Structure 1
Amino acid sequence: MKELLRTTDPTKIALATLLLEGEGIPAFPMDVHMSVLEGSLGILPRRLMVRDEDLFMARAILAENGIAGEE
């Protein structure tokens, strides 16, 4: 698995996941439950992971839709 997106914005993770799944690329969000440790402040970034072989196409899909890879 490779990291595709790292952000503190949960809406970016949701949008990116939706776009990728619409193209048949499975995406796995990580660090989703870290808000419990941080006190729900939203300061710890969340990551979106994809399979190694899907990384190139996934980056192209996000770039095409104006979603940056890191924040």
Structure 2
Amino acid sequence: MEVVAASPDPVRISFLAALLRDAGIDCAVLDAHISAVEGGIGAFPRRLAVSRADAAAARRVLRDAGEAPDG
């Protein structure tokens, strides 16, 4: 797995995941449940990961959508 984006904003991560899934790229949200530990303060970013084989395509999809990858 390779991280292609990171954000403390769960809505943004959800949007980016939807972009990738619409493009046929499977992805996983890492650290999605960290907010239970951190108290919801947004200190820890959620990470969006894809397989290494899909990483270049995923970054291209995000870039083409105007969402520069953070991770």
Shift of the alpha carbon at 1:68?
A: 2.3
SS at match of 1:32: coil
How many residue pairs match? The answer is 71
What amino acid sits opposite 1:2 in the alignment?
A: E
| Structure 2, unaligned runs of 5 or more | none
Partner of 1:19: 19
Aligned to 2:29: 29
Letter in 2 for 1:60: R
Please report how far the alpha carbon of residue 46 of structure 1 lies from its aligned counterpart in structure 2 after TM superposition: 0.5
Alpha-carbon deviations, 1:16-67, whole Å to 9, x = none? Answer: 1111111110010010000111111111111000000000010000001111
Structure 1 regions of 5+ residues with no counterpart? none
Higher helix content, 1 or 2: 1
In structure 1, the residue matched to 2:57 is: 57
8 A contact 1:25–1:58 mirrored in 2: yes
Instruction: Give the % identical residues.
Output: 35
Is the Cα–Cα contact under 8 Å of residues 12 and 67 in structure 1 kept in the other structure?
Answer: no
TM-score, reference length from structure 1: 0.93
- Structure 2 distance, partners of 1:63, 1:9, is 18
Report the aligned-residue RMSD: 1.2
